[in-house]
Amino acid sequence: MNTLIITPKTKVLDLIENYPELEDILIEIAPAFKKLKNPVLRRTVAKIATLQQAAAIGGVKTEDLINRLRKELGQDLVEGETGVKYNYNKPDWFLEEKIDARFNASEMLARGEHPVNQVLADLNHLEEGKIYELIAPFLTAPLIDKATSLGLKHWIDKRSDEEYYIYFQK
């Protein structure tokens, strides 16, 4: 009998390894999750992304995602808003001319590499008031969470389902 309790902090990979039947439910809830079928993304992103971050990626409320998955397994439901707020509204601090560095993570991800260390190193060298532009094929929720915990502001400019421009400022 499986004893993994589904919480917002549950890693996506742990969830689908413990409850493979929930993978199709994830895809049904948010079609963005179909990317988990890609073995590279499964090994990289699903390994570190939490369900809370996955909910943000899929554009669903964390509690709705958790409750649907728990309901499928007969676990107790959760109440209330949980999770980090991601900024999709263009902030006053954003000015194109303040962009000091740009990085497109798509190639690195396609090779099965994770851009977190590269981006964090770049962010550490970012000057106060300057902006860092990250281009990714999906919402990089774990990376945004980490940058936010380091005191950086962010703005997500979703240009399509497979093109996100994420801006950070110290």
pTM listed for this prediction? 0.61
Query: Has residue 88 been placed in a domain?
Result: no
Does 162 lie in the same domain as 101?
Answer: yes
Domain region containing 147: 96-169
What band does 98 get if pLDDT is binned at 50, 70 and 90? very high
29 within domain boundaries: yes
Among residues 58, 73, 88, the one where a domain terminates is 73
pLDDT(150) > 70: yes
Q: Are residues 117 and 54 in the same domain?
A: no
Confirm whether 90 is domain-assigned.
no
Q: Model confidence over 59-82: pLDDT tens digits? A: 888 878 887 888 888 876 655 444
Got the DSSP string for 16-54?
HHH-TTHHHHHHHH-GGGGGGGSHHHHHTHHHH-BHHHH
For the chain, the domain total comes to 2
> For residue 146, is pLDDT > 90?
no
Query: How do residues 121-139 score in pLDDT, each as one tens digit?
Result: 999 999 999 999 999 887 7
Q: How confident is the model at residue 13 (pLDDT cuts 50, 70, 90)?
A: very high
